[in-house]
Each structure stands twice: as structure tokens, then as C-alpha cells.
Amino acid sequence: MGTLFGTDGIRGVANTYPITCEVALNVGRAVGIFTKENGYKTVVIGKDTRISGDMLESALSAGVASTGIDVKLAGVIPTPGVAYLCSIGNSTGAGIVISASHNPYQDNGIKIFKQGGVKLSDDEETQIEDYILNNKIVPQDDVGKISIITDSLERYSDFLLSTFPIRKPKEKLKMIIDCSNGSASKIGHMVFNDSLFDAQFIHHSPNGTNINKNCGSQHTKSLQKSLLKENADIGLAFDGDADRLIVIDNKGFEITGDRILAICAKFAIQTKKLKKPIVVSTTMSNIGLTKCLDSLGIQHIKSDVGDRKVLEEMKKSGAIMGGEDSGHMIFLDYHTTGDGILSALRLLEVMIETKQSLSDLASIMKVYPQILMNVEVDESRPDFNKVELIADTIHSVKKKLGDKGRVLVRYSGTQPLLRVMVEGPDEDLTHRYCQDICKSIKANI
């Protein structure tokens, strides 16, 4: 990994390095060259609803077209929608998504998929980054065309609905859907339509600056309030680019990725749809998920943080189900990448087929107290393990927890944050231990 790519593409404040028109132009050129070198002719570009999306789309499109590669603009579409468009047809060599996911509107980012709808490997990111930073020479003999895919959402919604086996539910689930004023705002209505569900939508009117603002997967209070008021069966909360899903159960409690995985894994193994008894999640997963999967006879493999790392472990192990507690879930039997809307359909299928409430389904997994705090840091990112006072504090907390908990401290791959996670048997104690580590970090970095 170099200086541009983090755990999920290139990200930063829009109109500030590296999310500038100049960098976007060079990224477009690099992706165009990468596409041409691999024998393909087209790059698909999609975006979320941020005001800076149009600006970056223009720069990326110009860069790709300057290499002789055609550009197909998918417009506002979820990140996994671009991955899907990369997986159909034989001419599309790459897909670019302009999004900063769950970040505020001021930020933006550039994510890249290759042919087949999968994210780039570390080596491929390094190759493209080398092209960007060293201004690899662009062939001058050809110029690509830029055109619009007029039915991108129709294609993607048709694909999503084709994975849902229930055509005429006897009783429609009542649901509230929070689109985060992002890329789920339009396609959400297309997928969760009146013929299948009794759905009400909130935060589905994007204006360029309200994406993720007190709504969506990171801010579920308004969804909880709406669900309890309407006495709904489930609430769905997506993030800005709709690759994450957090849900609210019928009692108003938040259900995160670990418990969604547990619910879907139990259903899959009972219906013999889990090809191998393996589920992959990250080191951030709650210990309760491990205990739940063990009780079901399912092996739990833990990867490094990031949905790319989850996918790598899934492919190594042959697992078809994996994800992160943050709401990225991957169902490889259906799609090549994490997809919030697809994950919602899988969960809704379980609810309909089992005729159980979400709160009952979620009770399969006990959630152990887990406190996650973020400490703002500068871009220098010193090795905190080599700062004696911080290392001593972390060691002390680990010793006190023993085998009844764990500590994980890591830098965010997308923001200038040091993330501190402490898991333990008691919430108050766990919270205090997490605060102790954060105070040490603030005092010594």
C-alpha cells in the first residue's frame, strides 16, 4: 500500500489533496491504462449524492477517455451496483465509485473495482498508484467516448430482486427504511416496493449536503423513533453508498453486523444453504459471535479489518458468508462484494420463512459489552506500541481483563483516527478501561 490508497480506496476532504480534480484526472488515466493493459475497452463510473460528486466524475471521466477507453456513467448508484455492472458483459475492465461511504458530505473518495466486480488487490492498487504518482505516459493515438447508462438502477434492482425467492408474501412486513440521503434513496423504492413490502421511507431526499447527516447506519435514533411510532417489524439503515446495513428490531433495539451474520448463518445451515460450515468476520467482531457460531457447529475465521480482507479470507477458506460488525456483509453466493440492500433481502427472507420476529431471531447471539472510542490524531501516525506510557496502559488493561475480554487498538484506514476497542464482561468496567487507554493516547501522541 502506498500514500494514496487506504483500506477502502482514496479518501479525504473534497477539493483538498488527494481528492482534487488534478488527482482524479490522473486516477482516471491510471485506471484507463490498467483497463487497456488487461484487454478491456470500458470503465463504469458511479457516485453517491455528495455535491462534489459531479466535479470528480468529470475529472475521472476525462482521464479515462484520454487513454482511449470508453466511459459509461451510471449516475447515482450504490457502490455494489457499480460492482454488479462490472460483473456483467465482457468489455468492462473496471468500475470507479465516487463516494466517502459513511463520512460527512465534505469528504469524498474514489473506490476501484476490476472486471468481475471485485476490489483491487494490494498489488494492483500499488500498480495504479505508481501510474498516478509517476505520470505514466498516456497513449496519444486514441480518445474514448463518454456516455450515460440510462437504466443502471433498473438493471441493478432487477438483479437484487432476482435473489429474493418470495414473490407473493402472505403478509407484508412493515418496515421503515432510512436511505441516509444517499445512493439508496431512489433504488430503495424500487427494491422495497409495494408488491412485496409495507415500506415507509425516511431521509430519502438528497440535496448534496445532507448525506449521512444525523441519519443512516451511523445515526439510527430517528429510525428507532419512527419504527416505534409506526409499530413496524423492522427498520433498515443504509450508509451513504449503501454497502452497509444496520437494522432496528421490532422492539427498537439496534442490530449490527455480527448479529445479522449470526441470524443468516443459522438459517443457512438449517436450510443446507451454507456450502461449508464457515463464516468470516474481522478481529473487531464481538466474542458473542464466536460463541454463537461454535454452538451451531460453524467455524469462525477472523480476518484483518476491512471488507477486502474479509473477502480474501472467504476465498481462501471457501466461505460464502462473511462481514463486519459495522454492517458490511458479503454473500458470495449472490454477489462479489458487500451490499447493504442485498443483506437486507437476506435478513427479510429469514424473517418471512421462519415467521419469527427480528428480536426473537437476534436472541441467538449474546452481545458482550464492547466499547469503541476514536481518538483524533495527526497524519504522522507514530507507532503507539513504541510509546512506553501508551504501551504500558494497554498491557495493564489486557492483564486485568485476562481471558474475559480483549483490547484492540488500530489506526483507521480512512480517517485521521486511532480506534480503541475494549471488550469485557462488565459494561461500566469495559468503558473505564477504554477511557484509560484513550486518555493515555491523548496525553502522549
Just list the catalytic residues: 101
Cα separation of 245 and 195, whole Å? 22
Q: 92 with 44: CB under 8 angstroms?
A: yes
Return the HEC string of 32-60. Answer: HHHHHHCCCCEEEEEECCCCCHHHHHHHH
Q: Tell which residue, 221, 240, 325, 219, has the closest CA to residue 281.
A: 325
Cα separation of 199 and 264, whole Å? 22
Grid cell, residue 187, equals 433504488
- Report how far Cα 106 is from the mean position of its chain's Cα atoms: 19
Ramachandran class of 116: left when φ > 0, alpha when ψ lies in -120 to 50, beta otherwise: left
Largest CA distance in the chain: 67
Q: What's at 444, amino acid-wise? A: N
List CB contacts of 273: < 8 A, sequence separation 6 or more: 267, 333
Cα separation of 193 and 209, whole Å? 27
Sign, CA torsion 185/87/154/330 = negative
Q: What's at 261, amino acid-wise? A: L
Write the CA distances from 436 to 23, 342, 404, 430, integer angstroms. 40, 39, 18, 10
Pairing of strands 198-202, 146-148: unpaired
Q: Tell which residue, 434, 441, 432, 439, has the closest CA to residue 387.
A: 441
Q: Long-range contact list for 349-356, CB < 8 A, 24+ apart?
A: 349/164, 349/165, 349/166, 349/267, 350/263, 350/264, 350/267, 351/173, 351/233, 351/234, 352/166, 352/169, 352/173, 353/166, 353/267, 353/271, 354/267
Grid cell, residue 72, equals 459509461
Write the CA distances from 358 to 251, 298, 346, 352, integer angstroms. 9, 21, 13, 10
Grid cell, residue 442, equals 491523548
* b/e 323-354 (16+ beta carbons within 10 angstroms → b): bbbbbbbbbbebbbbbbbbbbbbbbbbbbbee
